[in-house]
Amino acid sequence: MKSADQLLREYIAHLRVEKGLARNTTSAYERDLSRFVAYIEEHGISFDSLTTQDLQEYVAHLRGKGGGRPLAESSISRAVVALRNFYGFASSEAGFLNPIKEFNPPKIPKRLPKALSIADIESLVAHAYREGEVNSLRDVALIELLYATGGRVSEIISLTLNDISKLGDSDDLAIRLKGKGGKERVVPVGKYAQKSLDQYLVRVRPALAGERRVQSLFLNTRGTQLSRQSAWTIISEAASRAGIHEHVTPHSLRHSFATHLLDGGADIRVVQELLGHSSVTTTQIYTLVTIDRLRESYADAHPRAR
C-alpha cells in the first residue's frame, strides 16, 4: 500500500489540478493534513485502520492536550473536514475501507461577525489620509473599495487595471472580483469609492508604477503589487489613528458591507451574490446581526420592553 505521505502528495495535486482549488485553500489543506500524518507516525498509528478513539485523541491533541499549543475550535473543525475528505480520496486510491467516513467535526458555536458602525467607517476613511503624504490616497482608495464592494482582501489586492469597467451605459464603475475556486463576479462601485479610486489612479499610481508596465491596481512603494500584510497594516494603523478600539481587519469591512446592506433593506440573495457566497446559508449569519440590532433598538425604545 502507498504511504500516507505519498497519498497526501497525490491528494494535494488532485485538489490543485482536478478540483481547481485556490492556492491558499490547498495550502491550508496541506498544513492540516501534514500535521495529522506527523501525529500518526509519531504515535505509531496505522493510516488505513484509524479508529474513532484515535480520532478523538487526535482532536484532544489539537485542543492542546499534552501541552501543545491549542487550535481554535473553528480550525479544529476545518482540520477534521480536511481529514475526512482526504480519507475519502485515499481509501478509493489505495483500496481500503474508509475508517472515518461517519466521523463528524466538532460543533462550534456560531459567532456573529463584528460590523463597524457607519460613523466608524467614515472615521477610518478620514484617518487613512495623512496630510502631506500623497501616497495615503492609495490607502483611502483601498479602504473605500473594500467597504464599497465587500471584497475579500485577497480579491482586492489581486485586482488589475483590466478588472475595472463601466457599468452598462452609465458612468458608474464596476469591478470584476475573482473569488474562491476561480469564480468571478461583477460588483458595482459606489460614488465615494469611485472618487477615491480616481484620485489614486491619477495622482499616485503613475508615480508608484514609474516606467514599469505593471497591471496590478494597488501598488506598493516599489511599484509591485501591494501585499496582503500591507493591506492589513494600512487598515490597522488607520483604525488606531481614528481611535477605534475594536480589532479592525479587512474582513471587518466585508462584515460591515453585508450588515449595512441588510440594515438598509437589501435582499439577502443580492447580498449573497455580491459577497460571492455559493450558498445563501453562509450569508444568513448577517441576518442574525441585524435581528440583534432590532432587538436592542426595541429594548431601548419601547416603553414596555423591559
| pLDDT tens digits along 95-115 | 888 888 878 766 655 666 678
Active-site residue identified among 127, 205, 255, 277: 277
Predicted local confidence at residue 35, as pLDDT: 94
Q: What is the mean pLDDT of residues 234-246?
A: 94
Active-site residue identified among 16, 114, 180, 228: 180
> Where does 118-247 sit in CATH, by number?
1.10.443.10
Active-site residue identified among 61, 127, 138, 152: 152
Active-site residue identified among 138, 254, 255, 260: 254
Q: 0.85 exceeded by the pTM?
A: no
pLDDT band per the 50, 70, 90 thresholds, residue 303: low
Q: Which three cell numbers stand for residue 217?
A: 491596481
Told to judge if 152 belongs to the known catalytic residues of this protein, a careful annotator would answer yes
| pLDDT tens digits along 1-60 | 688 889 999 999 999 888 888 888 899 899 999 999 999 999 999 998 888 889 889 989
Contact 5, 33 (CB under 8 A): no
Contact 189, 172 (CB under 8 A): yes
Active-site residue identified among 16, 78, 241, 251: 251
Predicted local confidence at residue 293, as pLDDT: 62
Predicted local confidence at residue 181, as pLDDT: 77
CA torsion through residues 12, 14, 17, 18, sign: negative
**% the chain with pLDDT above 90:** 54
The mean pLDDT value of the chain amounts to: 88
Predicted local confidence at residue 147, as pLDDT: 96
Rounded CA separation 38/201 (Å): 49
| pLDDT tens digits along 165-219 | 987 777 789 999 998 878 899 999 999 999 999 999 999 999 999 998 999 999 9
CATH of 4-94, one of 3.40.50.150, 3.40.50.460, 1.10.150.130, 3.50.50.60: 1.10.150.130
Domain extent listing, the chain: 4-94, 118-247
Told to judge if 180 belongs to the known catalytic residues of this protein, a careful annotator would answer yes
Does position 67 have pLDDT exceeding 80, yes or no?
Answer: no
Predicted local confidence at residue 179, as pLDDT: 87
| pLDDT tens digits along 122-163 | 999 999 999 989 899 999 999 999 999 999 999 999 999 999
